[in-house]
Amino acid sequence: MKKWIYMFCMAVFLASAAPLMAAQPAEQPSKDTVQPETTNTEKSSPAPVANVKEPVFNFDPVPDGFKIVHDFVIQNKGDADLIIKKVHTG
């Protein structure tokens, strides 16, 4: 039961983060990679890079009482810890 609750919460959490992950600057080398903005300095500091293969998932209508689950896989391809502090639903 705890596993289902965890998976549902994670799906809601990641589904709400998907619109934020999908908005990327034009200079991004890959459409699956989200990088934080950096300033031009001589020496760049380590930064996280979130890689999301499927940033958006549309849940079809679900009858009352049914539980649905979708896993959003987020991979950190940067050289610093990726910390997700807050998520909003869309």
The count of domains in the chain is 1
Q: Is residue 87 part of a domain?
A: no
Q: What is the mean pLDDT of each run of 10 residues along the chain (90 residues)?
A: 68 65 50 57 80 87 87 92 81
Asked if residue 69 is part of any domain, the answer here is yes
Q: Is residue 84 part of a domain?
A: no
Q: Is the pTM of this model over 0.75?
A: no
Helical (H) or strand (E) element with 34: strand 33-34
Q: What angle do CA 49, 53, 57 make, to 5 degrees?
A: 120
Would residue 22 count as lying in a domain? yes
- Yes or no: say if 79 and 46 are a contact pair by the CB < 8 Å rule: yes
